[in-house]
Amino acid sequence: MTKITFIGAGSTIFMQNIVGDALLTPALADSHFALMDIDPVRLAESESVAKAMIRSVGTGATISTHTNRRAALDGADFVITTFQVGGYKPCTVTDFEIPKQYGLRQTIADTLGIGGIMRGLRTVPVLWDIAHDMIQLCPNATLLQYVNPMAINTWALAERFPTLRHVGLCHSVQNTIEELAHDLDLPKDEFRYKVAGVNHVAFFLRLEHEGRDLYPMLRQGYANGRFPKPPLLMPRCPNKVRYEVMDHLGYFCTESSEHLAEYVPWFIKDGRQDLIEQFSIPLDEYPTRCEEQVANWKEQAKTLTDGRDVTVTRSHEFAANLMNAIVTDAPYVAYGNLPNTGQIPQLPLGAAVETPCLVDANGVQPSVVSDIPLQLIALMRTQINVQELTVRALVEQNPDHIYHAAMMDPHTAAELDLRQIRNLVNDLLTAHTDWLPDWCRPARAA
């Protein structure tokens, strides 16, 4: 019996998708799912949902629940992380509200920018603790890491635990294909593509349908106003930023426009409300989304935890197919985030990069992509600068590099001066004291 452990099982939507996919995968259908969370209420809800799914599919899978992480990890074959340190409240709210006092506005704040840096500082120490436990309790297990900031987390894990089997997984590639298929009125399963870069700032280097290059259609459709259509997945978040970046840099980004808008210095600017309106940038989107998800989940939980069966359908997450490939040695290709050992030779070694990966009984093996256009590499380097300084701060316990990371962030630097950035970081470190390592103490004020 394969043991699949969820750390952060209270993130019920992720748990529901991945458990459902596993139940629909013959080699995983009778797995033992060990669900762990520090919130006993959310954990109980997830347990009820998982049991209802097992009843619905009719497999021999079993469930155990844990508030003790080591008990959940003991003997695991796969470990899936889906937690958020500090939760939406208070930590994510803090990451939005304090920067706003300095005039720094954000959309998602979980990957780059000042919000991504702070989330990385909160998250990496917990991931390191999990990795330490895995080395002791399940040394041959593979960690499937779904937590943001993906690149910072993946890089830091590899630095501290070089023997750990792990991969960072995201659904930005799959989501983007759905949106492009929606715009182009083409079946998503018929697309052929190649993607590479850093997580959330990777690009479709090749995008084809039945041998036809789709980029001319995308460019023409954007030029004449047909694209983007109203979005398929996020109604409040039109894809105008991604199309505009494609128009200037030549290629389509894997991550949504609300994300991309805050990774670059071109769209969210003080005194430029015209840009916010022209490109339909949803400021404060993540807090709004969290409030809606909490409300929606409360309604869903009433029906999902009352003992009734639930309909189980396959999601587009990579996790179950990846686990199946390792268990059965049936080759599978997924987009994975791994430390750069040369798979993108144009980017620094050690940086977390996203490329197509072959998965089989040998694990997750990245393919080499060496033909990324220089303008895209230049944009990726601006992201890596922030990621590397944050990782160095964590590994070396050097608080100075927290400030340096914020100073090098493209959006933050475009809005604030050096003294403002220093004071902003001080305020955030003070507000997050209970969630940060002891060495993360505010430095002198500017």
| Active-site annotation holds for 171 | yes
Confirm if 257 and 239 have CB atoms less than 8 A apart.
yes
User: How do strand 363-366 and strand 352-360 relate by DSSP bridges?
Assistant: antiparallel
* 131, containing H or E segment: helix 113-137
Confirm if 222 and 246 have CB atoms less than 8 A apart.
yes
Number of other CB atoms surrounding residue 317 within 10 Å:
21
- CA dist 273 and 258 (Å) reads 15
Q: Identify the CA nearest to 319 among candidates 332, 301, 330.
A: 332
- CA dist 204 and 151 (Å) reads 18
**Which residues, in sequence order, are bridge partners of residue 198?**
201
What does the radius of gyration of the chain's CA atoms come to, in whole angstroms? 21
- CA dist 231 and 257 (Å) reads 11
Q: How far is CA 100 from CA 126, 163, 197, 270, 287, in A?
A: 28, 41, 30, 11, 13
Number of other CB atoms surrounding residue 191 within 10 Å:
18
Q: Identify the CA nearest to 137 among candidates 65, 63, 67, 76.
A: 76
DSSP readout, 37-94? -S-HHHHHHHHHHHHHHHHHHT---EEEEESSHHHHHTT-SEEEE---TTIIIIIIHH
Q: Which of these is catalytic: 66, 166, 171, 200?
A: 171
Confirm if 197 and 353 have CB atoms less than 8 A apart.
yes
- CA dist 75 and 404 (Å) reads 41
- CA dist 256 and 176 (Å) reads 7
- CA dist 63 and 127 (Å) reads 23
What residues are annotated to the active site?
A: 171
